[in-house]
Amino acid sequence: MREKITSTQNARVKRWQHLTTKKGHQKYQAYLIEGWHTVGDAIQAGRPLTAIIGTHEQLTNHGAVLPDSVDQFEVSADIVKKLSDTVTPQGIFAVVTISETATVTPEKATGGWLLLDHVADPGNIGTMVRTADAAGFSGVVFGHGTSSQYNPKVIRAMQGSQFHISLVAGDLGDWIARFKERELAVYGSALNPAAKDYRTVSPTTTFAIIMGNEGQGMTADLLAETTANLYIPIKGQAESLNVGVAAGVLMFQLNSHLLD
């Protein structure tokens, strides 16, 4: 079914706009994604969509791959601007259901896991999620103080990788404890005398690596609970690496057995 909407005051439009907020995510258990790259990846991954919203041009251009089972809404340029989080919107969106069945618990998690501790910048989060996807990780855990995976800027920065691996919100202390109970390694990232050179760690099948806040690093209580804390030697004059870059180096090293 395709319905045409031209008014920005339409009730559906107001609800879609609400889906870009935390309260909207909680109330409707859904969120809004934007841009064909992300919408197309969601369709290909078989994610539960309840609506596809776009201009006449966008819906026509991608009509061949839009699922018949999902309602389509043709909207005006004014509505596109109201819904978009970008300066030059493409003009296509989708509503994705937040599915509790996709939740992974630390008791059953396998493979490589990236744990985010108070990481605030959406661009850094997007970089790390995409890198986790590229490095063959199983998933990413958004810990307390980390920007939400449903934040529009985070969604855009992940560029569809969120549909290739598992993303969960969780208590990092609990994840560390459960992994250690299973005798699995949990690595922190820190610049201190007690930390180990990341190149001395042997890759394993199931493990976790924690990345901390851009300015403050990992919280002290989590650093104290890890199996080991790792550092990346710096040969130049820079004081430190961007958290996204550092995460990429560590993830590819620790999961290198999958890349041989």
pLDDT digits (tens, 9 = 90+) for 141-193: 999 999 999 999 999 999 999 999 999 999 999 999 999 999 999 999 987 77
CB-count exposure of residue 134 (10 Å: 0-12, 13-18, 19+): middle
In the sheet that holds 139-142, the strands lie side by side as 166-169, 139-142, 112-116, 207-211, 185-189, 228-231, 196-197
CATH class of the domain comprising 2-101: alpha beta
Topology of domain 103-258, per CATH? Answer: Alpha/beta knot (3.40.1280)
Would the pLDDT of 257 be above 90?
A: no
Q: What is the pTM of this model?
A: 0.91
Q: In this predicted model, what pLDDT tens digit does every residue of 11-41 receive, in sequence order?
A: 999 999 999 999 999 999 999 999 999 999 9
Q: What is the crossing angle of helices 243-254 and 122-134, to 10°?
A: 20
pLDDT in tens, 189-248: 987 778 899 999 988 899 999 999 988 899 999 999 999 999 999 889 888 889 999 999
Name the H helices within the chain: 11-18, 22-28, 36-44, 56-61, 77-83, 122-134, 152-158, 172-181, 220-223, 243-254
**pLDDT over threshold 70, residue 55:** yes
The residues spanned by each domain of the chain are 2-101, 103-258
